[in-house]
Copies of this chain bind each other. A is one copy, B any other.
Amino acid sequence: MEKKQMAILAVLLIAIVISAVLFYGEWVGGFSWVGISDGSNPQEQYQFSKNLDVWFMLMLVAFLMIFIRKFEWGVCLATILSAASSFVIYLALQQFVFDYGVWDQALLIKAVICSITLVIAIGVFLGTCKMWQYLLVGIAFAAVYCLVEYVLANVSVFGDFATDPGGSVLVHLCAAYFGIGVALGIRDKTAFNEPMYTTTHSVTFVWLASMLLWMLWPSFVCSLLPLESVTLGTITCYMAGIGSLLSTYFVSIMFGKVNPLIYTYAMLCGPVAIGAPLLSVGPWGALLIGLIAGAVSTLCFIYLQPWFTKKLGVMDMMGVHNLHGVGGWMGAIFVSLIVGSMTTFVMAIVVFVIVMVTGFVIGLVVRFTRGQMDAICDDDTDFVKSEAPAEGAEPVAASEA
């Protein structure tokens, strides 16, 4: 058995032993039975379907990033590994460090929101690290996210809560700058030289993912709301979404044809930006926010992206910053203006600093444990394939396409 195989086996065995020990603890102490929420609580039933919907969105984020012809399966696997490791570590930290008493749907939702935040973040440096390193980043990110969540939601830190019911800051801003931090640590500029060709159907998957993410968004922003706010949250989320569907289109065609890889992303910026002011406006205010957010995001894709990525030396192939970073700031700014308090904006800056610094450190660790990358953004590195042997100008190629 090779050294590498032994290392892998060791990691697997460690995971099994740790969960066996924890299982033994449950078994003997019976604490799991004490600590499980009663599912007949109406809040639990309501949150059950939100919980699944957030997982649905997490999976769809993979397909939002799947447009590169030679890098489809790798995006899926990277998503799964990032999600799995951050999910389980988040839960462990909540139970054993933060003493979250009773496991309930809300805890599961918080955990999957932690994971989806990471899945958004990896978009910045996707394809520039080894596959197993997503597990590493997931473990580290869960700790960072617990910290960010603690800062934002703990009144004793700032003397006030952030107004961010739909996660503009906690999720989107956090994701974008954590991802940029990691990418700055990795500093692999070969991504700039890589021709990123798409195919008709790879981009059709992106349309599917984007359209379904748009429709699922109310489940995301309402998942942890008290029941009486859910209808308002649904209304403002969809109205903001309608706004960005429209303004993204107008701004796109002002500059010529529509680029599907801009449209499908920027059309989601209304829902991103409404996260913070979700319950602070009515339907028409939400429409206004969405119109502005979509327009600004599209302009960032067109004007900010080339300058920003060159300056930073970070490719951000998936445009994470233009959607989640810019959208996150807009959410924080809008809510500060509307409620007339700078608290949320200040907290956004604090989150920005925390995740940039921790992201950068984690990025450095990734860089120095990464080794040689033969190719970036390439499925061939990680997967066996079983395609038909190519036969030159085989006529069937056209019809099977």
Q: Which residues of A contact B (CB under 8 A)?
A: 5, 8-9, 11-12, 15-16, 19-20, 22-23, 25-27, 31-33, 35-40, 42, 44-46, 48-49, 51-53, 55-56, 58-59, 62-63, 66, 69-70, 72-73, 76-77, 79-81, 83-85, 87-88, 91, 103-105, 108, 131-132, 135, 195-205, 207-208, 211-212, 214-216, 218-219, 222, 225-235, 238-239, 242-243, 245-247, 249-251, 253-254, 256-261, 263, 267, 281-285, 287-288, 291-292, 295, 382-401
Given contacts A26-B282, A36-B235, A45-B46, whether A384 and B259 have CB atoms under 8 Å apart is: yes
Chain A to chain B contacts (Cβ below 8 Å), 24 pairs: A8-B254, A12-B295, A16-B292, A19-B285, A19-B291, A39-B228, A40-B230, A49-B49, A55-B215, A55-B238, A63-B208, A66-B204, A81-B246, A83-B245, A196-B386, A197-B388, A198-B385, A198-B387, A199-B387, A199-B399, A199-B401, A201-B202, A388-B399, A390-B396
Given contacts A52-B216, A198-B385, A401-B400, whether A227 and B40 have CB atoms under 8 Å apart is: yes
Q: Which of B27, B198, B211, B234 contacts A108, CB < 8 Å? A: B234
- Contacting residues, chain B, for A59 (C-beta < 8 A): 208, 211-212, 214-215
- The reply to whether A282 and B250 contact each other, CB–CB distance below 8 Å, is no
- Contacting residues, chain B, for A245 (C-beta < 8 A): 80-81, 83-84
Instruction: Return the chain B residue nearest A6 by Cβ.
Output: B254
